[in-house]
Amino acid sequence: MATLEAPATTSSPTIPPRPASPRQTSPRQASSRQAPLRQAPPRSVPPQSEPAGAVEPGDPLHTACGEPVFDPLTGEDDTGTLTIAEAAAATGVSTHTLRYYERAGLMRDPVARATSQHRRYSADDIRWVTFLTRLRMTGMPIREMARYARLAGAGEGNEAERLALLTDHRRRVLERLDEVQRNLAAIDKKIAVYQERIDR
């Protein structure tokens, strides 16, 4: 009896996996990826303006004697007063000195204040500060300046005291001036000696 053989099974050939192809990138995408990021331009900061009344050294407002060279009642704010920076420019002293004059009790009248509480100097204030500066530059002590300010602020009736105070100060100024003149004469004499030796 013949033996039936099972038909041979043919295995299907193994198909190797297809290697993944690199992802295609369009030229437009490639250029957008490679292009560097654009930075926003730096913001320009506007320069800060100088405060009103600020002046540089050597400005025509300053003179050798410290006198104001303009009418302080012609302020641009139409209030007839000056800010502390403008008052400093008009008198030739610093804003620190103006504040010190107030603290030391040297102002004849209180300095007015604006609604913002900033100081406002009148023409009388400017003239008073100028005179205070002359007293100080000629050597009057602060205590005597304060006394004179109190007398002047009290009004009429104490003119004799004010006269005596200023007369005594004038005497001391003349004494120092005479001493300076003698010292100057000695210096001139020594200069003349050296000049004579050089000219021989």
- Reported as a single tens digit per residue, the pLDDT across 64-98 is 334 444 444 444 444 578 999 999 999 999 999 99
Residue 200, pLDDT score: 84
Q: Does domain 53-140 match CATH 2.30.30.140?
A: no
CA separation, residue 98 to residues 55, 73, 107, 129, 131 (Å): 16, 19, 9, 8, 13
- Reported as a single tens digit per residue, the pLDDT across 14-29 is 555 565 555 555 555 5
Across the chain, mean pLDDT equals 75
CA dihedral 120, 125, 129, 135 (to 10 degrees): -160
Dmax (CA) of the chain: 167
- Reported as a single tens digit per residue, the pLDDT across 125-137 is 999 999 999 999 9
In sequence order, which residues have a C-beta less than 8 Å from that of residue 119 and are 6 or more positions away?
A: 83, 84, 87, 98, 111, 112, 113
Q: Is the pLDDT of residue 118 over 70?
A: yes
- Reported as a single tens digit per residue, the pLDDT across 172-186 is 999 999 999 999 999
| Exposure on the CB side of residue 118, measured as CA atoms within 13 A | 11
Please tell me the distance from the alpha carbon of residue 33 to that of residue 42, in angstroms, as a whole number. Answer: 24
What pTM does this model have? 0.57
Residue 20, pLDDT score: 55
The structural domains of the chain, with segments of one domain joined by +, span 53-140, 156-200
Query: What mean pLDDT is predicted for residues 87-110?
Result: 93
Neighbour tally for 162: CB within 10 Å: 14
Provide the token pair at 177. 């001036």
* Cβ-defined contacts of 62-70 (< 8 Å, 24+): 62/89, 62/92, 63/92, 65/92, 66/91, 66/92, 66/93, 66/130, 66/133, 66/134, 67/92, 67/130, 68/126, 68/130
